[in-house]
Amino acid sequence: MISRKNEPVWAGQIHRLDTVGSTNTVARELARQGAPHGTVVLAQQQTGGRGRLGRSFSSPRGLGIYCSVVLRYEVPPQALFLLTPVMAEAARRAVVQATGLEPQVKWINDLVLEGRKLCGILTELGMTGDRLDHVVVGIGINCNQQADDFPPQLRSVAISLAQALGHPVDRSQVEEALLTQVRAAAEEFLLAPRNWMEPYRAHCITIGKDVQLIRGEEVRLAHVDDMDEQGALLVTLADGTRETVFSGEVSVRGLYGYL
């Protein structure tokens, strides 16, 4: 374990690694070996960065932040439903704090700038039988990528902080802001999730949009009316029926693209 002197947050529990498959996988292994609440894994590069619904997350060397945090809460797994949006709000605040940019949120786990994806969050539960043992929250932020650093299929849908600002960012500043906000969110989310969910909702561009709800092969058109206190979307389907959509296996896409 390598830890910097005068580490600002979660001192002594930050693992700084060079190349990993996925920081979430490393964090899960550490958690299984008993790593405490607040253990952080950061990598320079991921060769198998993972996203929701079996997608990959492009993680070129030295250009993004690839971060996973082990959290331990003595609650039933369903009490963690708000963790992903709360962490999205933590990442959003970190970007505002470190760069002055104002990302929006695409439900449920993406931050967007200029209509393109800046950041993704992958939350994975570690269960012992039906009891929650730990949860790993993985956060990836595109920092200094230029178009050529993204795979061709992502170039029109992904963006980095440097692209939005027009100059490179100091990744260590973004990282420090991220860890500070993630720690605050981890401490507060069971007691005061509203402090995070209200701004999340205010910045959520999915509300009020016509979208496709994609579950496996099934695609349904819907209008997003609102988001409830559980972070679920309240939608009206094309035939007029209303439904509550939890994140689970559903992907939400705009009618004409990523948003």
Stretch that binds ligand BTN, among 1-9, 22-30, 192-200, 220-228 (CB under 6 A): 22-30
Pairing of strands 218-227, 210-215: antiparallel
Under rule CB under 6 A, which residues in 167-226 are in contact with ligand BTN? none
Which helix H or strand E contains 177, and what residues bound it? helix 171-188
Closer residue to ligand BTN in complex, CB, 198/233: 233
Stretch that binds ligand BTN, among 91-99, 137-145, 184-192, 211-219 (CB under 6 A): 137-145
Closest to 254 in 3D by CA, of 212, 205, 203: 212
Under rule CB under 6 A, which residues in 88-127 are in contact with ligand BTN? 109, 120-122
Closest to 37 in 3D by CA, of 12, 18, 2: 12
Smallest separation (angstroms) from ligand BTN to the CB of 129: 25
Cβ atoms of residues 119 and 8 within 8 Å: no
Size of the site for ligand BTN (CB under 6 A): 20
Which amino acid does the sequence have at 64?
G
Cβ atoms of residues 157 and 117 within 8 Å: yes
d(C-alpha 6, C-alpha 182), whole Å: 18
Residue 44 is a binding residue for ligand BTN (CB under 6 A):
no
Stretch that binds ligand BTN, among 21-29, 32-40, 178-186, 197-205 (CB under 6 A): 21-29
Radius of gyration in angstroms for the set of CA atoms belonging to the chain, rounded to a whole number: 18
Question: Per-residue contact track with ligand BTN, 50 to 79, x per CB under 6 A?
Answer: xxx--x-x--------xxx-----------
Residue 46 is a binding residue for ligand BTN (CB under 6 A):
yes
Residue 10 is a binding residue for ligand BTN (CB under 6 A):
no
Q: Which residues contact 126 (CB under 8 A, 6 or more apart)?
A: 28, 31, 32, 132, 133, 134, 135, 136
Closer residue to ligand BTN in complex, CB, 84/99: 84
> Which residues contribute to the site for ligand BTN (CB under 6 A)?
22-24, 46, 49-52, 55, 57, 66-68, 109, 120-122, 138-140
